[in-house]
Amino acid sequence: MVAVTAARRPFNPRSLIRPAVLLVLTAIVLYPLVWMLGTSFKAPEEVLNNVSVLPDDPTPANYPDGWTHFDIGFGRFFLNSFMVATLTVVANCVSCLLAAYAFARLRFRLRGMWFAVMIGTLLLPSHVLIVPQFVMFKSFGWVGGPWPYLPLIVPHLLATDAFFVFLMVQFMRGIPRELDDAAKIDGCSAYSVFRHVILPLSRPALVSTAIFSFIWTWNDFFRQLVYLSDLEKYTAPVALTLFIDSTGQSAVGPMFAMSVLSLAPVFLFFVAFQRLLVEGINTTGLKG
């Protein structure tokens, strides 16, 4: 009997370069989050004196202090953020899906030109539009009104997020037109084709739009700061700035504690739909 031994591959030090680089990049990305989490457990006198990640004397007191720091509980700000983010997600999904269906499937005059104009709006900085939008919404009575969230939500009902429209258009172009033709042979109208063919197959693109809309709206600070002036209407990102006032007095520990809690909804939302998000990114169409 002849014993056959498999030849061992020689050790290549270069094989460690890629994992080492990935570990370094991961540490760089995670370090601010870990530092913020550790700082949220530091005592007030330790926050500014101890720059290390781990606190010398951990204490959870910053969390109840931050939750009740204002006359209004911080939970109110979470509810405001959740309401604005949820309504924005619904508005973006509905309006962008309809606009994308028109560009991807319907034929109308100057369709290519209007699509190019929509793509061109991606090059326009959003901050350039703040002043004219504020003047327009002010004339509508939406700024400082009983429900000041209208300027933050209503524009999304008009498919103003060109990125999501473009995302859905590219996804729909990967759906075979033979499915549309088969539905039309069965007597379906353009609306029925959208309802029974395009909409069910566009779920991955819709989930991707919902996830990014929720994250971007939840983290939006500038637009919410511009349109919200009543403390009871503040969202979580705007309320976090109140921990540091103009008099120089600050509550850094409670601020970091509430910042950690503000990240929780975004993290949970991503974890809950990450499978569908990956599916939406990997899906390139259907094969017949």
Coarse DSSP helix, strand, coil percentages of the chain, rounded to the nearest 5 percent: 70, 0, 30
Residue 168, judged by CB atoms within 10 A of its CB (0-12, 13-18, 19+), counts as: buried
Residue 159 has pLDDT above 50, yes or no: yes
Residue bearing tokens 């509550």: 251
* Cα gap 265→78, rounded to integer Å: 9
244 in helix, strand or coil?
Answer: strand
* Cα gap 156→96, rounded to integer Å: 9
Q: Angle at CA 145, nearest 5°, toward 141 and 147?
A: 115
250 in helix, strand or coil?
Answer: strand
Please give the pLDDT value at position 270: 80
Please give the pLDDT value at position 286: 44
Residue 109 has pLDDT above 80, yes or no: yes
| Maximum distance among all Cα pairs of the chain, rounded to whole angstroms | 94
40 Cβ contact list (under 8 Å, min separation 6): 62, 63, 253, 256, 257, 259, 260
Residue 277 has pLDDT above 80, yes or no: no
Residue 125 has pLDDT above 70, yes or no: yes
Instruction: Let me know how many helices (H) and strands (E) the chain has, helices first.
Output: 15, 0
Please give the pLDDT value at position 246: 56
Please give the pLDDT value at position 285: 43
Please give the pLDDT value at position 279: 65
Please give the pLDDT value at position 17: 83
Bridge partners, residue 250, by sequence? 244
pTM of the model: 0.84
φ, ψ for residue 11, nearest 5 deg: -70, 130
Q: Angle at CA 23, nearest 5°, toward 46 and 50?
A: 10
Residue 7 has pLDDT above 60, yes or no: no
91 Cβ contact list (under 8 Å, min separation 6): 153, 154, 156, 157
Query: For the chain, what is the mean pLDDT?
Result: 86
* Cα gap 144→128, rounded to integer Å: 22
Look at 7-16, 85-94, 249-258, 261-270 and tell me which has the smallest mean pLDDT.
7-16
Residues of the chain with CATH 1.10.3720.10: 74-285
- Give the pLDDT mean for 173-202: 89
Domain 74-285 sits in which CATH superfamily?
MetI-like (1.10.3720.10)
